[in-house]
């Protein structure tokens, strides 16, 4: 299999803790390592030929495994082609694991809110959850029910480290032709797709139980124009949000 991107992790249990990443760029090899959810430290090795770069790429992959890293992904990636389905699948799988970990870490809480948040520059993907108990402590109002920025559980972002590595090249000094509008549409759309897929799987419950759950994608520092809520919720929950939105002035 031909690849130009290899991503390795060290884990605590199933949770990524450290990463080692290698990218083949023609006659050069870019590599980075550090803690999950961070940029880490990076370097660029410029070689005499594509063959020499390929050899360096393979050597770095071997070094990663020798250092105790486990291969997470190895793909042929065209940085100028934004594959929304591929990114959505990575976000979906990472978010599923993150939400499961949140439930396991807080067994005394009845989770009633699940969200993915990004930012105006489309650089981050953060999973967040809330509970009936936390919502009640905050007054129980719809202003909190639909505001993931104020929710209580957000400690499992490392499960989305693979997706994070997929979007970081567009914020680093790595050549590509993608502009910010295309990047935002790619990341925000993939987040929404991932949440829809999880909803279809039953991740957020079913029947009356589903009606009590809020599912949100939002841009934390945005103006709400990119937020996606109604398509992600049951008809009853979406109607509740629509009624709340009608009160905005």
End of a domain among 52, 75, 98? Answer: 75
Examine the domain organization and report whether 126 and 69 are in the same domain. Answer: no
Q: Which of 53, 75, 97 is the last residue of a domain?
A: 75
Co-location of 48 and 96 in the same domain: no
Kindly state whether residues 180 and 204 are assigned to the same domain.
yes
Considering the domain architecture, whether residues 105 and 187 belong to the same structural domain is answered as yes
- Domain interval for residue 176: 84-245
The predicted structure's pLDDT at residue 70: 98
The pTM score is 0.96
Q: What is the SS3 assignment for the chain?
A: CCCCEEEEEEEECCEEEEEEEEEEECCEEEEEEEECCCCCEEEEEECCCHHHHHHHHHHHHHHHHHCCCEEEEEECCCCCCCCHHHHHHHHHHHHHHHHHHHHHHCCCCCEEEEEEEECCCCCCCEEEEEEHHHHHHCCCCHHHHCCHHHCCECCCHHHHHHHHHHHHHHHCCCCCCCCHHHHHHHHHHHHHHHHHHHHHHCCCCCHHHHHCCEEEEEECCCCCCCCECHHHCCHHHHHHHHHHHCCCC
What CATH number is attached to the domain comprising 70? 2.20.140.10
Q: Tell me which residues of the chain have a pLDDT lower than 70.
A: 1, 249
Same-domain check for residues 11 and 92? no
Boundary (domain end) residue, out of 50, 75, 100: 75
């Amino acid at each position: 299999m031909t690849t130009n991107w290899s991503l390795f992790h060290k884990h605590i249990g199933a949770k990524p803790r450290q990463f080692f990443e290698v990218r083949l760029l023609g006659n050069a090899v870019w590599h980075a390592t550090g803690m999950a959810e961070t940029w880490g430290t990076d370097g660029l090795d410029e070689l005499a030929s594509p063959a020499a770069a390929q050899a360096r790429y393979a050597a770095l992959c071997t070094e990663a495994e020798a250092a105790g890293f486990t291969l997470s992904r190895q793909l042929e990636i065209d940085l100028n082609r934004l594959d929304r389905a591929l990114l959505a699948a990575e976000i979906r799988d990472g978010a599923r694991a993150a939400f499961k970990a949140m439930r396991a870490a807080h067994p005394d809480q009845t989770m009633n809110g699940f969200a993915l948040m990004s930012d105006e520059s489309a650089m981050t993907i953060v999973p967040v959850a809330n509970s009936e108990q936390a919502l009640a402590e905050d007054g129980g109002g719809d202003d909190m029910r639909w505001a993931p920025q104020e929710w209580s559980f957000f400690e499992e972002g490392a499960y989305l480290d693979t997706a994070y590595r997929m979007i970081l090249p567009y914020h680093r000094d790595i050549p590509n032709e993608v502009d910010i509008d295309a990047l935002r549409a790619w990341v925000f759309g993939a987040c929404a797709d991932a949440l829809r897929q999880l909803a279809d799987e039953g991740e957020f419950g079913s029947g009356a139980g589903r009606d009590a759950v809020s599912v949100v994608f939002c841009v934390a520092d945005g103006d709400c124009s990119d937020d996606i809520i109604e398509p992600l919720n049951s008809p009853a929950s979406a109607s509740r949000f629509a009624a709340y939105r009608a009160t905005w002035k």
